[in-house]
Each structure stands twice: as C-alpha cells, then as structure tokens.
C-alpha cells in the first residue's frame, strides 16, 4: 500500500540516528551538496554576475514558489519565495489589515507560534491606529470571529501540541464575518495535504526548513489568492517587488504579478538547496504521505504509552486533529530529551514540559519508531535523565 515510502536512500542521516525532529529542521537530502558545489563552481565562480540572467537566479523565487505551491494546493504564479517567515507574516498581516481599513482586531489563538504574535504586536505599535491583537483558546476561534475582526491569523498545525485547525470551515467563518484569512503553514507544508486555493483564504505563509528539508535558514514563502495579486498592498516595498526594477524609478510601483511580494535580493544559495531538496517530492502523493504519517504516529503513541505511563500525551488523540508530530508532557522533559538525544534518538523540547517528536515518513519506518520508544523507556524507567549533564540548558532546545 505504501510502496513509495520510506525514501531513506534520498537522505543523508548519521549512522545509528533515529531522527524525530524533522518538524523543526529537516535532514539533508543527498542530492543537495553536489548541486550546491556545482552551483558555486559553475554559476557563481564561472558566470559571476551573469548568473542572474544565464543561470536563472532572478526567476528562481517564482520557479521554486511554484514547486512549493504544488505541495499546498496553490495555483501557479501565486507563491513567492524569499525572506524569513517572520517577514512574510508581517507582510501578509499588513496587507490583510489594509484590505479592511475600518476594522481594528487581529484574531489569533494563544497556541500560535510566538513569532507570529510578536510580529502582529510590532505592526500594531508601528501603525498606532488603535489595533488590538485578540487571543483566544484554539477551540474558541470560530465563536470569536465577528464583525470587529479585520484579519484571522492562525497557524494550521500548532507547534507545541500538533493540534490542527480545520482550514475550510474556519476560513468560511472568517469570510461570513467579512474578515481576511491568513494561514501560517509552517507545520503543514510537506506534512499533510493542504488545499489553500480550495479554502479560498486570501493569504498564506510558511517556512521550508522543516518538512520541506530546505536547510537551516531556508527562505519562507507567501501565497496570495490569484484574484488579489494585482491589488494587494505589499507593505514592504522592496526594489525587486517593483514593476520595473531595472528602470530605477524613484517612485515605487508594485509588479502586476506575485513578484510584488518580493522584497530583497533572493538568497540564491539557499534557494538552490531548497530547489534541489524539493525534487524528493517528485511522484509522491501527499495523501499517501499523510496516511503513512498517521500510521507511524499511532504506533509511536501506542508504544510510548505502554512503555512510559508517566508520560502524558499532549497532542490530540484523534489523528485527524493532529499534524505530523506527537508531543508528550513530562515534568523532566528537557533532561529526558537530552538523554534521548545522547542515545541517538533526536527529538526536541518545548517549554514548559513538552517532548516533541516529528513523524516524517519520508525517512522513518516502524523499526525506527519501536526502537525510539524502547530507548525512551529505558531512560524513564532507569531515571537516566537525572544525570547532572542533562540538567544544563542549551541555547537551543
């Protein structure tokens, strides 16, 4: 049934490591180093500045955008790559507020990733027009959408618990109230089927270093519904978003395509790594990936709950309400995760007590899942997490 998965041979993973942190940073696809070496040698060194034309660097953000778009159900020409996710959140949110000038509420949930909320607060302070960031529990979002709301800004899959928002119904509720819908797909793209065009949402953003394996610092993306592309206000009016950047006009005139959402010079090395990494998805069906993700996640939950009863499931029990990660709460979660990583099982920790495990079927199988649970059981049963070295907090958890 799942004959295409896993694709372990396409990834460069350290020997003996079970990698359960692809929901934070995806591993290295094997094809990337050779492609980067070739790009640096033949394009950068060989072509120099001619690479912008001859090697297609200038068109790369749009070209790679279409590759990402294919994984999130977006039409060609509606996704642009570049900058960081924080920048794209800011850009998308500012554009959404401009679409509803008479409204003053940004609605989000208190389980959203902090950077989205930080960017919203910073934008509110900058605009100084009486905007309010209104936060509610994730389950209360639909009931909180009313005619005061300018933009509903949600992350489809919560970073801490893996809890999912139902995209189609929430977007419909936003539109019934006259609000703009902004989705953050950071934990969705490459993890589960997304139909952003079918949802009719105005804007979506996301990063590419998690399930899309673009590497640390890989560029973010922004989606704009096609009917809005020629009128949406970019907010950050960078040179490369100009309709004619090489006319060097002193007045800004946004491009008539998704190019208007470009800001600065594209990171060509990072985009080249991402473009190569995205080739892994050729021929894969996201429904198959999702089915396999659920199967492995259910196995992991069953194994951990049987072996480690002191750990409490922190993710939704129903797989349909859960993304491609599983979280468990444990009072000594940080130390236990450090002990786990020391023994070749890499997950991560999120405050205050959450042990997170990314279930990525492109390079995980049942044997990996069972072995990881066995090692976790040994750590918990024997209190191996109590070693002093595991109590010292690293800068990145």
290 catalytic per annotation: no
Q: How confident is the model at residue 3 (pLDDT cuts 50, 70, 90)?
A: low
Domains of the chain, earliest start first: 8-30+285-391 (3.90.1150.10), 58-281 (3.40.640.10)
Kindly state the helix (H) or strand (E) to which residue 391 belongs, with its residue range: none
Question: DSSP labels for 244-267?
Answer: SGGG--SS--B-SSGGGG--S---
Of the candidates 331, 351, 318, the residue with the CA atom closest to the CA atom of residue 113: 351
- pLDDT for 2: 43
Is the model's pLDDT at 370 over the cut of 50? yes
What residues pair up with 326 in beta bridges, in sequence order?
Answer: 357
What integer is the mean pLDDT of 28-40?
98
Length of the chain: 397
pLDDT digits (tens, 9 = 90+) for 173-192: 999 999 999 999 999 999 99
356 catalytic per annotation: yes
Cα 222 to Cα 207: distance, rounded to the nearest angstrom: 9
Mean pLDDT rounded to a whole number for the chain: 96
- pLDDT for 50: 98
Q: 83: phi > 0 → left, psi -120 to 50 → alpha, else beta; which?
A: left
Active-site residue, from 328, 356, 363, 368: 356
- pLDDT for 29: 98
Cα 124 to Cα 370: distance, rounded to the nearest angstrom: 47
Q: 130: phi > 0 → left, psi -120 to 50 → alpha, else beta; which?
A: left
121 catalytic per annotation: no
Of 220 and 3, the one with more pLDDT: 220
Sheet with 348-350, side-by-side order of all strands: 312-313, 325-329, 354-358, 348-350
Active-site residue, from 184, 259, 348, 368: 184
Report angle CA 341, 345, 346 to the nearest 5 degrees: 65
Is the model's pLDDT at 92 over the cut of 50? yes
Q: What is the pTM of this model?
A: 0.96
184 catalytic per annotation: yes
Is the model's pLDDT at 311 over the cut of 50? yes
pLDDT digits (tens, 9 = 90+) for 274-306: 999 999 999 999 999 999 999 999 999 999 999
Token digits for 325? Answer: 């990660």
211 catalytic per annotation: no
Report in angstroms the alpha-carbon separations of 306 from 192, 247, 301, 377: 27, 66, 8, 9
Cα 20 to Cα 154: distance, rounded to the nearest angstrom: 25
- pLDDT for 392: 87
Q: How confident is the model at residue 195 (pLDDT cuts 50, 70, 90)?
A: very high
Q: How confident is the model at residue 4 (pLDDT cuts 50, 70, 90)?
A: confident
What integer is the mean pLDDT of 196-219?
98
Q: How confident is the model at residue 395 (pLDDT cuts 50, 70, 90)?
A: confident
Q: 137: phi > 0 → left, psi -120 to 50 → alpha, else beta; which?
A: beta
Token digits for 9? Answer: 């041979």
Cα 21 to Cα 345: distance, rounded to the nearest angstrom: 9
Place of tokens 């800068």: 395
Percent of the chain at pLDDT exceeding 90: 97
Active-site residue, from 159, 209, 334, 357: 209
Active-site residue, from 11, 19, 90, 113: 113
Active-site residue, from 210, 262, 322, 350: 210
Cα 384 to Cα 161: distance, rounded to the nearest angstrom: 25
């Amino acid at each position: 049934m799942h004959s295409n998965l896993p694709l372990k041979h396409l990834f460069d993973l350290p020997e003996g490591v079970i990698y359960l942190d692809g929901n934070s940073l995806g591993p290295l696809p094997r094809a990337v180093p050779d492609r980067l070496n070739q790009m640096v040698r033949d394009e950068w060194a060989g072509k120099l500045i001619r690479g912008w034309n001859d090697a297609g660097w200038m068109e790369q953000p749009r070209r790679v955008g279409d590759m990402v778009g294919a994984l999130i159900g977006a039409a060609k020409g509606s996704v642009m790559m570049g900058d960081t996710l924080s920048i794209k959140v800011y850009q998308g949110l500012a554009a959404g507020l401009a679409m509803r000038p008479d409204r003053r509420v940004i609605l989000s949930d208190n389980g959203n990733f902090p950077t989205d909320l930080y960017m919203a607060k910073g934008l509110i302070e900058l605009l100084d027009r009486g905007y309010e960031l209104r936060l509610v529990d994730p389950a209360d979002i639909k009931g909180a959408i009313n005619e005061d709301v300018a933009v509903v800004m949600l992350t489809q899959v919560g970073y801490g618990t893996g809890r999912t928002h139902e995209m189609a119904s929430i977007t419909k509720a936003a539109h019934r109230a006259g609000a703009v819908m902004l989705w953050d797909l950071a934990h969705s793209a490459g993890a589960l089927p997304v139909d952003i065009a079918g949802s009719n949402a105005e804007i979506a953003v996301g990063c590419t270093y998690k399930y899309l394996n673009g590497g640390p610092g890989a560029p973010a993306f922004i989606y704009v519904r096609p009917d809005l592309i020629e009128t949406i206000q970019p907010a950050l009016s960078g040179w490369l978003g100009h309709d004619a950047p090489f006319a060097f006009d002193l007045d800004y005139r946004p491009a008539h395509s998704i190019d208007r959402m470009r800001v600065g010079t594209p990171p060509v090395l990072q985009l080249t790594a991402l473009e190569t990494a995205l080739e892994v998805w050729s021929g894969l069906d996201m429904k198959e990936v999702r089915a396999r993700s659920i199967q492995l996640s259910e196995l992991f939950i069953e194994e951990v709950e049987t072996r480690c009863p002191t750990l409490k499931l922190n993710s939704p029990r129903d797989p349909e309400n859960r993304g491609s990660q599983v979280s468990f709460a444990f009072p000594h979660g940080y130390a236990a995760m450090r002990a786990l990583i020391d023994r070749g099982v890499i997950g991560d920790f999120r405050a205050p007590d959450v042990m997170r495990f990314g279930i990525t079927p492109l390079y995980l199988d049942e044997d990996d899942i069972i072995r990881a649970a066995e090692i976790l059981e040994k750590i918990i049963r024997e209190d191996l997490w109590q070693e002093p070295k595991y109590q010292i907090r690293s800068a990145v958890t």
